[in-house]
Amino acid sequence: MAKVIGQAIKRKEDPRLITGEAKFLDDIQLPNMAYVAILRSPYAHARIKSIDTSKAAALPGVIGVFTGKDFMDINPLPCAWQAGGVKNNVNTPRVLEPEKVTFTGAGVACVVAESRYIAEDALALIEVDWEPLPVVVDAKKATEPGAPQIHENAPNNIVMEWECGDAAAVEKAFAEAEIVIKQPLINQRLIPTPMETRGCAAMYLPYTDEYTVWITSQAPHVHRLLMTAFVFGIPETKMRVISPQVGGGFGAKIFMYPEYPLVAALAKKVGRPVKWQETRSENYRATTHGRDHITELEVAAKKDGTVTALRVHTYANLGGVLSTVAPGIPTTLYGRLLSGAYHIPHIYCKVWGVYTNTGMVDAYRGAGRPEATYVVERAMDLVARETGLDPAEVRRRNFIRPEEFPYAPADNILAGLKYDSGNYEPALNRALELAGYDEFRKQQAEARKQGRLLGVGLSSYIEICGIAPSAWIGLPNQGWGAGLWESANVRVHLTGKVVVTTGSQNHGQGHETTIAQVVAEELGVSVDDVIVQHSDTLGTPFGYGTYGSRSAAVGTVAVYNSLQRIKEKARKLAAHLLEAAEEDIVYEDGKLFVKGSPDKAKTIQEIAAAAAIGYSLPKGMEPFLDDTAYYDPPNCTFPFGTHVCMVEVDPETGAVQILKYVAVDDVGNVINPMIVDGQIHGGIVQGVGQALTEGAIYDENGQLLTGTMTEYAIPKASLMPKIIQDRTVTPTPVNPLGIKGAGEAGTIAATPAVVNAVVDALSHLGVKHIDMPLTPQRVWAAMQRN
Amino acid sequence: MFAANFDYYRPATVAEAVQLLSTKENAKILAGGHSLIPAMKYRLAQPSALIDIGRIPELSGIRVEGGKLRIGAMTTHAAIAASADVKAHCPLLAEAADKIGDQMVRNRGTIGGAIVHADPAADYPPNLLALGGSVTAVGPNGSRTIDFAGFWTDLFTTALAPNEIVTEVTVNGYGKGTGGAYADLQHPASGYIVVGASAVVTVANGVCSKVSLVIGGATPNPVRASAAEAALTGKAPTAENIAAAAALAANGISNPIGDSFASGDYRVHLAKVLAKRALTQAAARAQ
Ligand SMILES: Cc1cc2nc3c(=O)[nH]c(=O)nc-3n(C[C@H](O)[C@H](O)[C@H](O)COP(=O)(O)OP(=O)(O)OC[C@H]3O[C@@H](n4cnc5c(N)ncnc54)[C@H](O)[C@@H]3O)c2cc1C
């Protein structure tokens, strides 16, 4: 039988999506449902003196109007991942802010009405008496003397000061360095913009005191746990959380948001099912943003291009209040990755997490790793520039060599973990070959003579996937304080059909297909005979959800482990039925037979039936093929690759056109190459978006100037040429499937590749750096300055 | 995203529409709805009544009369872009229409709605002004024509009276010896222009006998680049002459619009660059 793993089979989830049969949150209609609209603060920093809801409450069709004062019995949201080993000055949102708001878009009141239209009409009738307070939006300025103070428990607006690496060793390396480069870098704030906005629907049964809550969630079990145990203070068994079809998340749908406990509490208060679906304008203000770092990069290097030390100081803007895992992102997932693909002898990173009067910032596709990769990959190009070496050569000279794996980055910045496996140069070479790098360099020189500006940029990234060993992420000095294992249950039903339930959550990644492929491969059944169920806390084992490129490298490994035990039991049963010794049973292509007698085989379907019917089982064997596995990975996985971007810059307008884009990625073994290519493809476009078009801008009053999709420029298809993709395969030794993970690689790699290309195009004009997004005006201005 | 309440009327004739517009309080004409409905969903516009002119047959269609195009106000961008008459008599207008938004927007949005909406970043106004022509408006006291040159009066504001309806747009066509071109830089999010330059150039005996150049996007309403027009008129359309003229393209622009994506200075710079490109292409097409 042909291998199923590695086949580009079509996705099982697509027919329902393409035909519109899939049900998203806003499709949920319950009998007698009421609708919620939320009044959000127009001020970035203000005290609420009073709220008069009487006019709104009097509007026909309004069921109830509520403010923060009505929910003082509900705890503020938890900040579940604080920066490890240091004090975090934590302030989190309440379901509705009762006293003070710290960013525009914070909810302060809500209306429940017979229709959303009536609810919106009523919002306009709520009268809030505001006392505006001074505003600060820039993370660095917020820490300076005299800046407006946002929270009493956070002097100078500092959430936490965190560091990793060896400051003294770095200091020494800089003192001895042949070359020292300093470069300020801004990694701008991004708005995740999944196609579907967030939403929540809830139903409450008073006699059993039970909630059913539908959430646009990447992690339904985590949402249930946080909402019950932390926010409401009730047993998690009193709530069922269902994540319906979810239209993308990019990280922003992991977190606990005020609206979810609010909607659940409203269902109880008004005694009717209620629903709230976010508008896009709300989404841009009230859903988490990503990135937003102000960084001072310092590189020490030798004249031969080898980097001897990195020193990185970063102000991470975390917004007006902390989202669920906000402090963990710019620390564990950022500082610990600053060695990139390179053997850098000494590294030091210091991070200030900062409150400002802006929207919450948390994990967004890549989460910390794109920021780290941007720093490292810009550093490599700056070294190339300074030494006059080719950027590809600088990367080669600094790469960690294959024989150095498992590799522990310098100064214990990775806190005890080691890069699992890697072979970086072949991916670089293949990318250069596909891109026609040498030829392009000649064209570039030719074009410059005619006043045309061509540029090429590289990005040889690594990332950290398969998050994460509980013994690492759960340690107090990493801060998460929870395991990040995954679970799976496999049942082979009487007819031989297989049902897998998983704690992972599928919101575009294709779990229903890839997990079915692993089952089909292992059990020798058809992919069509496997159903993967997920996203409902009723009926799935606990899992931490889908993010951090962990569902293949952690979640699917749990499935794999379960399958091994199912197979073992099937073998035992086959031995019993065939009256042979277990050691003599061969399991091949879905058939179990005694070695040498394949003609007298039992199919797995027959074995499943025998196990289910159960009248002839070996002594002590329980009926049914059913197994649950919990898999805690021993290490993270470290995918890598090289992307090459070629651009032409319009010398008169500064507009950038991408001529060619090549991606060679190594994500370990691949279950479904079409899905992996698609993940990387989409990720690349998102990364290009950050480089060229995206950027959330708050004015000095804390108003979001990019508050709609007319101003905030997510990338369009017309921005991209056809992406040329290839891969190398370096399996990870971390898990039995050899899978590393592919969900974020594209986003991580693309951004620096594009920026490096544009800077390369202008290098002969003296341009060394341009901050993102590289809009025509910024590129044009950089040309004027030099 | 949730509009406030409004009444809805669907008149069958222009007279009925004018009557409704004059009598219903806080009423607005609904054409393609592609500017008005988004504004209502943001509750930036809260009309009490919408008068849908989409079912008035005489408001749609394109005729050619004496070298001019007469285009009904309800004619969609897509219809203009695809019209053989427009392509034959005024290819620049077809090109401009084809650049608006995306296919869905072009299928619904109308020329009447676009010019009345008077968005500073809209594509039609600079091109219409460069081509020349007029707007026909009907009010309670009958019909009048308003030259394009006097139609756009301020940001999102026109010379139209509150009780008037645009019924037709008349655009000068052009033929052999004349070329038109439109060069723009688009905002990556909205797709609207940041700056656009529209040029119509007639070349006779090797010189530019007539030059029309209009810049949109840099100011609340499109502005004619008179100094650049004068500089090129009577000259050969050489690269140097065009560059020299284009350098004057922003002379009429004071107080340019500026925002976080493109400052006023940058827009002034773009006006010159895009003017050069539009003039170059228009002159090439004229020959
Ligand atoms: C996603 C998107 C992208 C777009 N991109 C572009 C672009 O790139 N370039 C561009 O130029 N435009 C763009 N537009 C705007 C588009 O061209 C609109 O169609 C146009 O601005 C308005 O035309 P409408 O027929 O939809 O008018 P409506 O939205 O129905 O009306 C607009 C205004 O004009 C009034 N009005 C309409 N018709 C008449 C009439 N006959 N007499 C009197 N008053 C009238 C209405 O009362 C209203 O105030 C875009 C729109 C969208 C939604």
pLDDT for A482? 78
- For position A304, what pLDDT does the model report? 98
Contacts of A443 (CB under 8 A, 6+ apart): A454
Confidence (pLDDT) at A475: 75
CA distance A329 to A191: 16
Task: Compute the distance from residue B41 Cα to the ligand 1 centre, in Å.
Answer: 15
Per this entry, what is the length of chain B?
Answer: 287
Instruction: Please report residues of A whose CB lies closer than 8 A to that of B2.
Output: 37, 116-117, 120, 279
How far apart are the CA of A469 and the centre of ligand 1, in A?
55
The answer to whether the Cβ–Cβ distance between A709 and B42 falls below 8 Å is no
CB contact under 8 A, A713 and B185: no
DSSP state of B219: S
Domain range annotation of chain A: 17-133+195-248+253-286, 290-469+635-785, 486-631
Predicted local distance difference test score (pLDDT) of residue A785: 84
> Ligand 1 test: best mutation among B6, B18, B36, most atoms within 8 Å of CB?
B36
Separation in Å, CA A182 to CA A410, A461, A767, A769 = 21, 21, 15, 11
Residues from chain A that touch B4, judged by Cβ atoms under 8 A, are: 120-121
Q: Which of B2, B4, B190 sits opposite A710 (nearest CB)?
A: B190
- Give the three-class secondary structure for A585: strand
Are the Cβ atoms of B2 and A116 closer than 8 angstroms? Answer: yes
CB of B54 within 6 A of ligand 1: the answer is: no
CB pairs under 8 A between A and B: 58
Instruction: Indicate yes or no: CB of B273 within 8 angstroms of CB of A652.
Output: yes
B-chain residues near A653 (CB < 8 A): 185, 270, 273
Indicate if ligand 1 lies below 6 Å from the C-beta of B116. Answer: yes
Q: Does domain B7-52 have CATH number 3.30.43.10?
A: yes
Please tell me the distance from the alpha carbon of residue A699 to that of residue A679, in angstroms, as a whole number: 34
CB of A30 within 8 A of CB of A274? no
A611 close to A622: Cβ distance less than 8 angstroms? no
| Nearest-atom index, ligand 1, CA of B76 | 25
Give the minimum alpha-carbon distance from A118 to chain B in angstroms, rounded to a whole number: 9
Per-residue pLDDT of chain B (287 residues; tens, 9 = 90+): 899 999 999 999 999 999 999 999 999 999 999 999 999 999 999 999 999 999 999 999 999 999 999 999 999 999 999 999 999 999 999 999 999 999 999 999 999 999 999 999 999 999 999 999 999 999 999 999 999 999 999 999 999 999 999 999 999 999 999 999 999 999 999 999 999 999 999 999 999 999 999 999 999 999 999 999 999 999 999 999 999 999 999 999 999 999 999 999 999 999 999 999 999 999 999 98
Instruction: Report the pLDDT value the prediction gives residue A480, as an integer from 0 to 100.
Output: 73
State which residues of chain A have pLDDT below 70: 1-2, 476
- pLDDT for the residue numbered A138: 98
In a mutational test of the pocket of ligand 1, which residue from B16, B105, B182 has the highest number of ligand atoms less than 8 Å from its CB?
B105
Among residues 224-253 of chain B, which lie with CB inside 8 Å of chain A? none
Determine the residue type at A597: S
pLDDT for the residue numbered B1:
81
Q: Please state which CATH number belongs to domain A486-631.
A: 3.30.365.10
- Ligand 1: does its nearest atom lie under 6 Å from the Cβ of B122? yes
Q: Considering only alpha carbons, which residue of chain B is nearest residue A693?
A: B188
- Which pLDDT score is estimated for A539? 92
Q: Which three-class secondary structure state does DSSP give residue A335?
A: helix
CATH of B57-172, one of 1.10.150.240, 2.102.10.10, 3.30.465.10, 2.60.40.2480: 3.30.465.10
Question: Where exactly does CATH 3.30.390.50 map onto chain B?
Answer: 181-286
Mutate which: B48, B186, B260, vs A, most A CBs within 10 A = B260
> Does B29 contact ligand 1 (Cβ within 6 A)?
yes
Q: State how far the alpha carbon of B37 is from the alpha carbons of A123, B6, B41, in Å.
A: 20, 12, 6
- Using alpha carbons, select from A117, A172, A252 the residue that is nearest to residue B40: A117
CB pair distance less than 8 Å for A780 and B266 = yes
Q: Answer yes or no: same fold for A290-469+635-785 and A486-631.
A: yes
For domain A290-469+635-785, give its CATH number from 3.30.365.10, 3.40.1550.20, 3.40.50.1220, 3.90.1640.10: 3.30.365.10
Chain B CB contacts of A193 below 8 Å: none
Look at residue A36 in the predicted model and tell me its pLDDT. 98
State the distance from the centre of ligand 1 to the C-alpha of A372, rounded, in angstroms.
Answer: 44
CA distance A117 to chain B (A): 6
Cβ neighbours for A459, distance < 8 A, ≥ 6 positions apart: A373, A377, A642, A643, A645, A749, A750, A751, A752, A753, A756
Q: Cα A480–A484–A490 angle (5° rounding)?
A: 160
Helix (H, G, I), strand (E, B) or coil at A716: coil
Nearest-CA residue for ligand 1 atom 4 is: B101
Cβ separation B266–A116 shorter than 8 A: no
Q: What is the pLDDT of residue A319?
A: 98
Q: What's domain A17-133+195-248+253-286's architecture?
A: Alpha-Beta Complex (3.90)
Torsion from C-alpha of B13, B14, B16, B21, nearest 10 degrees = 140
Entry pTM: 0.97
Q: Residue B189: closest CA among chain A residues belongs to which residue?
A: A713
Does domain B181-286 sit in CATH 3.30.390.50? yes
Q: Which amino acid is at B232?
A: L
Q: Which atom of ligand 1 is nearest to the CA of B160?
A: 43
pLDDT at A478: 73
By a Cβ cutoff of 8 Å, what residues of chain A touch chain B?
37, 116-117, 120-121, 124, 279-281, 652-653, 655, 692-693, 697, 705-706, 709-716, 719, 775-777, 780-781
Residues 6+ apart with CB under 8 A from A445: none
pLDDT attached to residue A481: 72
Looking at the CA of residue B119, tell me the nearest atom of ligand 1: 21
Closest CA–CA distance from residue B190 to any residue of chain A (Å): 4
Domain with CATH 3.30.43.10 in chain B: 7-52
- Number of other CB atoms surrounding residue B157 within 10 Å: 12
The reply to whether residue A709 touches residue B5, judged by beta carbons under 8 angstroms, is: no
CB of B5 less than 8 A from some CB of A: yes
CA A328 to chain centre: 13
Determine whether the shortest distance from the Cβ of B32 to ligand 1 is under 6 A: yes
Taking the Cβ of residue B273 and every Cβ of chain A, the question of whether any pair is shorter than 8 Å is answered with yes
Smallest CA–CA distance from B101 into chain A, residue: A710
Name the closest residue on chain A to residue B183, using Cα atoms. Answer: A653
Q: What share of chain A is helix, strand, coil (3-state, %, to 5)?
A: 35, 25, 45
Asked whether B17 lines ligand 1 (CB < 6 A), one says no
CB contact under 8 A, B266 and A281: no
State the pLDDT at residue A406.
Answer: 97
* Residue pLDDT, tens place only, A356-370: 999 999 999 999 999
